[in-house]
Copies of this chain bind each other. A is one copy, B any other.
Amino acid sequence: SELMETFHAQARAEWARLAVALVEPDLVAAVDAAGLALLAALRGGAKVLVAGNGGSAAMSSHVAAEFAGKCVRDRDPLPALSLAESPTAITAIGNDYAFEQIFARQVRAHGRPGDVLIVMTTSGTSGNITLALDAARAAGLATIALTGSRGEHLRERADHVLVVPSDYTPRIQEVHLMWTHAWCEAVDHAWP
């Protein structure tokens, strides 16, 4: 159909461009460095917290479940927690404090020095995400931000900032899923 063909054609063109952009050596090195930081933190007994809104909230659950359960191979369960998963925590903090605090307050509750916070934001501008990064830094966590081209400015706020060179939400999320999968696959195989 014409309707679907429009989106297939757009997606194909964008993927042809991304296939080249995503193998750019600096970007690959940054993705690897973040993955190795995760592995080192987990080996040292630290935990991983993950946060995002909407589709990225679902992807936070996805990656946390693959660390806590498994991705592609059985190994010890690893301590990863999505901060976007509890309607109780989110509505309580949103109602009693502010929606902008939903992740930051959970970071302060669960985060300890040496832990890692991963955030996913396609725009880079979600207030609850920037506050979570600031709370994590203040609490001594390492921080990894997955974003799109509008999120370049997060480089000031996080240790590892991985920018998908696109401003289109669905494509950015798809690449974030690929990168987090690569980390989970690598951790599964490297463990312990």
B-contacting residues of A (Cβ < 8 Å)? 1, 3-8, 11-12, 15, 19, 23, 28, 31-32, 35-36, 39, 54-55, 57-59, 61-62, 65-66, 69, 71-72, 168-170, 173-174, 177-178, 181-182, 184-186, 189-190
- Quick one: which of A6, A57, A62 has the most chain B CB within 10 A? A62
Contact A170 B181 (CB under 8 A): yes
Contact A35 B65 (CB under 8 A): no
**With known contacts A173-B177, A177-B174, A23–B31 Cβ distance under 8 A:** no
Bound: A181/B8 CA distance, A: 10
Query: A59: which B residues are within 8 A, CB to CB?
Result: 58, 62
Contact A174 B181 (CB under 8 A): yes
**With known contacts A23-B12, A58-B62, A3–B181 Cβ distance under 8 A:** no
Query: A15: which B residues are within 8 A, CB to CB?
Result: 19
Query: A65: which B residues are within 8 A, CB to CB?
Result: 54-55, 57-58
**With known contacts A32-B1, A177-B173, A190-B3, A182–B58 Cβ distance under 8 A:** no
